[in-house]
Amino acid sequence: MLQVNFIRANKQTVLDGLRKRNWQEEELAVIDRIISLDDARKTNQLELDNTLSEMNRISKSIGGLMRAGKRAEADQMKASVGDLKEREKKLKAKADEIKEELDTALYTVPNVPHPSVPSGNTDEDNEVFQAWPNPLPELSGDAQPHWELAKKYNLFSLELGVKLAGGGFPVYMGKGAKLQRALINFFLDEAAAAGYQEILPPHLVNEDTARATGQLPDKEGQMYYVTKDDLYLIPTAEVPVTNIYRNVILEEKDFPIQMTGYTPCFRREAGSYGAHVRGLNRVHQFDKVEIVRIEHPEQSYEALHGMLKHVESILDKLELPYRILRLCGGDLGFTSALTFDFEVYSAAQKRWLEVSSVSNFETYQSNRLKLRFKDGKKKVLAHTLNGSALALARIVAALLENNQTPDGIVIPKALREYTRFDIID
RNA sequence: GGUGACGUGGGUGAGAGGCUGAAACCACCGGUUUGCUAAACCGGCAUACGUUGUUAAGGCGUAUCGCGGGUUCGAAUCCCGCCGUCACCGCCA
């Protein structure tokens, strides 16, 4: 969430940012409300502190009297604390109430978009930041979408997933399963080569963890929740990996921090039906290799572009046609200041599929994470970033479709040392 | 899952209702001494919020001894719940 002090000092910037996210004028009132709640918080806190201070003073003198054996005087002083206690109780209750209102209000405010974020409402207003320079692949008329190919070559089954779990849980088989494993290893090795330390985190996280990276309370409905143990299934490795640095104070020399992690990702994503969610296009469980960086604020945008280059290099090696979009204000994630999406062209479906989202959250996450670094004597919030490198399911969809030939599906050269087969037939 | 022990600053560890935001030691930082290094000695060394101050240095207040409640004029210390660690038992890939 945003810091109240930041909102105070940069009110106009915040308001303009929210307008870019298409906030209506009446919704912007929350900003003034936050400031006045914070004022109330301070006033209340001061009164509470003064009350406590008075009580502490009296208690101390009672201690002195007791030691001096002046029992009667001490008893008299004890009696005088009653009113203060009442006041303390009220003020404390008020403080809790204000804090809750303030937090609730703060949670409704998304990150301030970076100046380069284009205005716009929907994904149609996203800016093509980098187009695919070559002609798009064209397949012959009898080319099949990946869900047909999966049947033909027995690569995965969603029907079987229904039997085992439910809709949207694919079961990969044979070369389909091996292809998943190969891609995961390929992505992890590429990330390691680019300087990212590999992390294998828990796949379930507690509430504090989900809150710190912003999944709670904003996206509560999107996560699977294990009530019995009060744990959430992770929607992305971003959550546990970034939280490694929750409540940490770094030294400047610790930067940059680069981590990568493979995890399955679980998303409830309340359903929508039709061709655009068929097959692997949208599922409840998919595999993803994530890259996470923690950066000095002055370096974070450079780091963001480095992450773009990394994702590009992987897609180049996979020989997939892709383009990069800069998300508009309306499509930008709640916690992000700037996001670039990678889309891969899936030739049989004749559409672009989102396979990666690379974002700079600036201090929005680190504020909740309490992730800071020492800047001289001061402690300053660090910037957090992350990106998919890459999300598997849709990559598989594109690979299968684009590489189909009459003889079978050809595996890209870079992947063959991982699959140990050249073709799916 | 059961039983028992434990959880104190960056680390080790004392404290067992008031004189304790917390001894001592180690680590760290600054200084004195010294051909250099080391040693010795002196000093400093938590975080958050608020307040004051020039958006400074500093001062002041409050909170924090795993987390949350309670008892009490007063809690690191007593009581309750939770979490975690360790040991043993049970179960188990």
Residue pLDDT, tens place only, A327-378: 999 999 999 999 999 999 998 999 999 999 999 999 999 998 888 888 777 8
- Residue range A182-189: mean pLDDT, rounded: 97
Å between CA of A153 and C1' of B35: 81
The answer to whether the peptide bond before residue A390 is cis (omega within 30 degrees of 0) is: yes
**What structural domains and CATH numbers belong to chain A?**
4-107 (1.10.287.40), 123-424 (3.30.930.10)
In the block, residue with structure tokens 């959430």 = A232
Closest nt to A85 (CA→C1')? B73
A122 touches strand B (CB under 7 A): no
Other CB atoms within a 10 A radius of the CB of residue A69 amount to 8
Mean pLDDT across chain A, nearest whole number?
92
In degrees rounded to 5, what are phi and psi of residue A166?
160, 180
A94-98, A189-193, A266-270: lowest mean pLDDT where?
A266-270
d(CA A154, CA A175) in angstroms, rounded, equals: 8
Cβ pair A321, A138 in contact under 8 A: no
A46 touches strand B (CB under 7 A): yes
Nucleotides of B under 7 A from a protein CB: 18-19, 47-51, 57, 61-63, 73-74
In the block, residue with structure tokens 């990559």 = A395
Residue pLDDT, tens place only, A134-151: 999 988 888 899 999 999
What does the block give as tokens for A127? 């800016």
Other CB atoms within a 10 A radius of the CB of residue A424 amount to 24
Residue pLDDT, tens place only, A308-323: 999 999 999 999 999 9
H-helix or E-strand containing A71?
Answer: helix A71-79
A84 touches strand B (CB under 7 A): no
In A311-403, beta strands by DSSP E: 322-326, 338-346, 351-362, 372-375, 378-381, 383-391
Confidence of residue A276 (pLDDT cuts 50, 70, 90): low
